[in-house]
Chains A and B, each alone.
Chain A
């Protein structure tokens, strides 16, 4: 192997865990760092150029296309991926809502849709307005055409997460199945 001897050491906090790695190549995207080096394959690659949203993750709480980010330029950042959303067997309300409202078919866009929905709800831009949810979720393509369920799921999760008397939480995974 003839890689440069000194690589690029970076440390990321991924789903709450500190992960250090030495990138042998500065061209590694955040998406490929997650998928190929940290064995976090939940985030998907549909286009590798910021056009489909399958790779959406939260970077310091904000949704981004991980395929457009270079891993080296995010040393020290905190990343949340689809694998970091559920609390053990308890699904995050957005995950549970996607199951309940059939917000997916093949499931390939789903990790990106869910991370995008979590980001959207956190941004507080769409609220309970279906039109704004559709707009705010339009960076995430679903070729299967699960949009109706996706919109319903985002609205339902938003409602569940904002219900004043209900503790945030989700369903047990068995229940959701």
Chain B
């Protein structure tokens, strides 16, 4: 890596968001803000039962309502080129697209009413008054047959371990065993799943929010039996995804089918309560942790078993055990998963899938072990610091976790923490507790491509079908492009969020910036190489013959690496060559050899303070300090926001979010934002995120690790541990609510 790359003019700068002015003025157009001429509105009707089939819909009543244009049911829904249940790749989740009258979960779409106005479509959907043949649903965790899945998460092995776990427990001086439960959670991005679809023959133009434009394009082409090139998805702005928009969902596709049925543009917006079913969720989990340790705290055995739920008709398994494979050293490790089926919408990736609920259990268990050992919880973690990845014994590509522990502890004042619970009170008599947890998330990469064009006017265009769902792609990809090209940011035009651009990978799994950023960087280098080619072979150029020495790009000029006084502007080079521009593509992907050799993860340490009312049990988080190391930081302002967002999700997992299922009907009983609690501003304490310096020469040429998900991990456990420290009550059933403290 060149010096320039490490201390770029643009990379590393805390620039404000490029898309900021559009977002604060209302000019940023999200999918539902498009209104093609002649557009109709579509509203879904969804199932009130969780299992069975629809035997009657009052289509006539809906059709008779003024303004209703059409009613789409299994009777007349467009047929598809392939079954929506066909799984032609591991990420093709089964869809509910009105191809039959079956119901496999509550809130499944069962009909769509299309009308001139939203009001008429809404009323029409209500008039369908479905009648069902209902079967008794099963929705309880562990309620059905329990089996071992083939794989968990994104195709990872179900079981993995090292050493002899029984021997590990046998040699332990102290053992602990506890079971932790986490609640079902729904992503609830603030922007509902939306489609504004328009057909022109067999060409589709679609405004829809998706975290992966090319995956969506492929899925739609397959379902509708048209070439991928006929699908044009525009998604410049995406109002939050968190995994729920990773793969295009049934409601989004029903909007497209409705447009096909009526031969006019159609807008379909999922209603908030309809988002509790067909667009994914994080399943509830029951995790058993068994730990064994020597008297000095050295772990001899770490056994993490997860039981979770998946749908009856598809497979996605929350991979809680992954975290125990990567985080702490132990003589023996065992991680296993089991699952039971339920009549629920298929669970799916949700911010820090696996790691989020896994982390809260592991961090709680370590805290309980620290108490049993009479050890400081931080000392226990340091005692079991993994110098190499525990199961594979691979070295880490970089790991500044020790620095995270130290800087976070220092900032928080951890050294003053009494070991015993219920020792601290504030001036109002509230119980005060301190807890900590380790954060970690894999530094994965997908494959992506980008195109860079250097133009004769001294500007550049960089294009990739990446997606900004709030993490800041509009800004950081431009920063990476500017530094790669040696141009000021304002001379770089960036185009993203459009499926006609080169495949930008997936804004998810904390892979987005690493992947599309690497692709952008590679494309800029390839375009510069072409420019260099033109110059060094041209006798009239001051760079003539500089081929061996090479060139560097800075301030819109190419200069000889060995003699920077000999340089020429991009415009001059192109003008003399008689070209308007040079254009090149670049690829971003993990380098297989280094990914085999090294374990790649981001790390962090989170410290939490809570206050608990001793009489009422009310819990408030009052302080959160996180210290994170995630390789090179492209934009500290935006990265801090990602950490804060993750930490708030940690607060949410620990204290707020809980979808309550009615076991008789199989329905979520709180499918709205008033009763499904997510943190509001007043729930969020003063937050601090320390960006710990970390240099990673292996993870990718830019040294970038993802930052979108790690903030949840560590945080939820730190809060749970702080609640115990405040009260002396260990709650193992998340979220921790006041009734559980009083009961």
Contact = CB atoms under 8 A, between A and B. Distances in A.
Interface of A: 1-4, 24-25, 27-28, 32, 35-36, 39-49, 51-52, 54, 81-83, 85-86, 91, 95-96, 98-100, 102, 104-111, 114, 131, 133-135, 137-151, 173, 176-177
Interface in B492-540: none
A150 B645 contact: no
Nearest to B711: A145
Which of B116, B190, B674 has its CB near the most chain A CB atoms (within 10 A)? B190
B641 A149 contact: yes
B692 interface: no
Contact of A36 (B67, B118, B642, B648): B118
A44 B191 contact: yes
Contact of B682 (A2, A51, A138, A143): A138
B21 interface: yes
B25 A83 contact: yes
A104 B472 CA distance: 10
A105 B471 contact: yes
Contacts of A40: 26
Given A45-B192, A106-B190, 19 more contacts: A1-B67, A24-B67, A25-B67, A28-B119, A48-B272, A54-B190, A82-B24, A95-B24, A99-B24, A104-B470, A105-B642, A107-B22, A144-B190, A145-B645, A145-B648, A147-B679, A151-B681, A173-B25, A177-B16
B644 interface: yes
Contacts of A173: 21, 25
A34 B397 CA distance: 53
A146 to B, nearest CB: 6
Interface residues of B, number: 67
A41 B26 contact: yes
Contact of A91 (B25, B120, B192, B648): B25
A32 B119 contact: yes
B482 to A, nearest CB: 14
Contacts of B687: 148
Nearest to B651: A145
28 contacts: A4-B66, A32-B119, A36-B35, A42-B25, A45-B269, A48-B272, A52-B673, A91-B21, A100-B16, A102-B640, A107-B19, A107-B24, A107-B470, A108-B30, A108-B189, A109-B190, A131-B682, A133-B681, A137-B681, A138-B681, A138-B682, A141-B680, A142-B190, A142-B681, A144-B240, A147-B681, A148-B641, A177-B18
Contact of A3 (B66, B239, B686): B66
- Give the one of A41, A51, A151 with max B CB within 10 A: A41
A40 to B, nearest CB: 8
Contacts of A107: 19, 22-24, 28, 237, 239, 470
B672 interface: yes
B373 interface: no
B680 A42 contact: no
Contacts of A48: 271-272
A114 B641 contact: no
A155 B135 CA distance: 55
Contact of B470 (A28, A41, A45, A144): A144
Q: Pick the most buried of B646, B681, B683, B684: most chain A CB atoms within 10 A of its CB.
A: B681
A138 B16 contact: no
Most buried by B among A25, A109, A114: A25
A99 B638 CA distance: 11
B240 A177 contact: no
In order of increasing CB-CB distance, the 4 nearest A-B pairs are A42-B26, A108-B239, A105-B470, A106-B470
A140 B19 CA distance: 21
B417 interface: no
A161 B269 CA distance: 38
A17 B678 CA distance: 37
B578 to A, nearest CB: 34
Nearest to A83: B26
A71 B686 CA distance: 39
A111 B272 contact: no
A143 B240 contact: yes
A82 B25 CA distance: 6
A149 B689 CA distance: 13
A118 to B, nearest CB: 12
A99 B641 CA distance: 12
Given A102-B16, A107-B19, A173-B21, A44 B684 contact: no
Contacts of B191: 44, 46, 106, 108
A1 B117 CA distance: 11
Nearest to A94: B24
A47 B672 contact: yes
Contact of B117 (A24, A91, A98, A135): A24
A13 to B, nearest CB: 18
B29 interface: yes
A96 to B, nearest CB: 8
A47 B276 CA distance: 13
A99 B20 contact: yes
Interface in B607-666: 637-638, 640-642, 644-649
A140 to B, nearest CB: 7
Nearest to B673: A51
Contacts of B682: 131, 134-135, 137-138
A49 B272 contact: yes
Contacts of B19: 107
A83 B29 CA distance: 12
A114 B190 contact: no
B175 interface: no
B190 A46 contact: yes
B17 interface: yes
Nearest to A109: B190
A144 B17 contact: no
B644 A146 contact: yes
B105 interface: no
Given A102-B637, A141-B680, A44 B471 contact: no
A2 to B, nearest CB: 4
B132 to A, nearest CB: 25
Contact of A2 (B25, B66, B678): B66
A141 B240 contact: no
B469 A106 contact: yes
A131 B687 CA distance: 14
A47 B272 contact: yes
B678 A141 contact: yes
B272 A102 contact: no
B681 A82 contact: no
Nearest to B684: A147
B1 interface: no
Nearest to A110: B23
A41 B27 CA distance: 8
Nearest to B471: A105
A150 B23 CA distance: 14
Nearest to B689: A148
A140 B681 contact: yes
B188 interface: yes
B570 interface: no
A51 B682 CA distance: 15
B328 interface: no
A52 B675 CA distance: 12
A99 B647 contact: no
